[in-house]
Copies of this chain bind each other. A is one copy, B any other.
Amino acid sequence: MVTLKEVAREAGVHPGTASRALNRTTQSLVAAVTVERVRAAADALGYRVDYLARSFKTRRTFSVGVLIPDINNPLFPPIVRGIEDSLAAAGYIALLGNTENEPEREKRVLDGLLGRSIDGLVLATAQRRDGKLAELARQPIPVVLVNRVAEDHGFSSASADDVAGVRAAVAHLGALGHTRIAHVAGPQSLSTGYGRFQAFISAMGHLGCETDNQLVRFAATFSITEGIRCAAELLSVDMPPTAIVAANDMLALGCYTAAEGAGLRCPDDVSIVGYNDMPFMDRLSPPLTTVRIPHYDLGARAGELLLERINHPDAPLRSTILVPQLVVRGSTGRAR
């Protein structure tokens, strides 16, 4: 491998000078002609800087970790793209870690990233009460939360306004004449699951309906299988609901399956609303009415917030809350 030393010898300067000439930030300390000479020598020899050595010395890697809970959930690719794009503009690269919602895997991946001396971390995996976050808060590494947040976390974050999103969904159903509206809630250990459930209760109040405990089921995970289980239970109570608000699209997919299994047609017999507007949700049978969250923007904002934490560690924390939008499709109709 060609080292800086060899470039320096070729250019007839000291390695320190060669280093300065080749670095954007220190280039101005060197005479223009010298810079040119070093450049030429570097090109001639095919020199490529050894980032490992540089990072070792400077303690900066220009890499940031991104922890994703479930790479199979199409919700995350746009978030990741947003993060990547805003970081790339500053010369950072995103290292993706996939936890599959498994704590053990998460620990392994996080340690793997931390051990690689990343400059920062974007977490899409926060729990409402999260020991991991408390631990990270004690370390000097900048952390930003995206999509999910935690309670009293003390990090910057980019998330969506679930109160507004759920209210729009419930109001839509109310306008269609529904009153027996059920909720397939997400995991209450996650801010999204918990926040949407609270928002549901509040939105039902707005509608003048009390939330019937019979008509709420809690999914253990944001998965199709849990959606099936919860919806099957809801549809077999004495006075079954005429509409279901699912806490996300995966759960809504499960609702579709359960409704079909119960011999019910959507939206004729039961209306279903999802949340997130994952890719392809407009392609379902029937197309899913859901709440669209600007995922790319969420990611882009998270990346910006992280850069801010890295470059200005003492700046105040920020929470960006983006506004979701109800997308009405074929899975919701007038109440029977």
Binding site for B on A (CB under 8 A): 48-53, 55-56, 59, 61, 63, 71-72, 74, 77-78, 80-81, 84, 88, 93-98, 100, 108-109, 112-113, 115-117, 253, 256, 279-280, 283-286
A102 to chain B: closest CB distance in Å? 12
Question: Can you list 20 pairs linking A and B with CB atoms under 8 Å apart?
Answer: A51-B117, A52-B55, A52-B56, A52-B117, A56-B56, A72-B77, A72-B81, A81-B98, A88-B108, A93-B97, A93-B109, A93-B113, A93-B116, A95-B95, A95-B96, A280-B283, A283-B285, A284-B284, A284-B285, A285-B286
Across-interface contacts of A72 in B (CB, < 8 A)? 74, 77-78, 81, 279
Across-interface contacts of A88 in B (CB, < 8 A)? 108
- Say yes or no: A116 contacts B63, CB within 8 Å: yes
- Say yes or no: A61 contacts B52, CB within 8 Å: yes
Across-interface contacts of A49 in B (CB, < 8 A)? 115
Name which residue of chain B comes closest to A78, CB basis: B72
- Say yes or no: B112 contacts A93, CB within 8 Å: yes
A126 to chain B: closest CB distance in Å? 20
A134 to chain B: closest CB distance in Å? 16
Name which residue of chain B comes closest to A100, CB basis: B81
Across-interface contacts of A285 in B (CB, < 8 A)? 283-286
Name which residue of chain B comes closest to A48, CB basis: B115
- Say yes or no: B283 contacts A253, CB within 8 Å: yes
- Say yes or no: B279 contacts A256, CB within 8 Å: no
Across-interface contacts of A81 in B (CB, < 8 A)? 71-72, 98, 100
- Say yes or no: A53 contacts B51, CB within 8 Å: no
- A49 vs B256: C-alpha distance when bound (angstroms): 50
A70 to chain B: closest CB distance in Å? 9
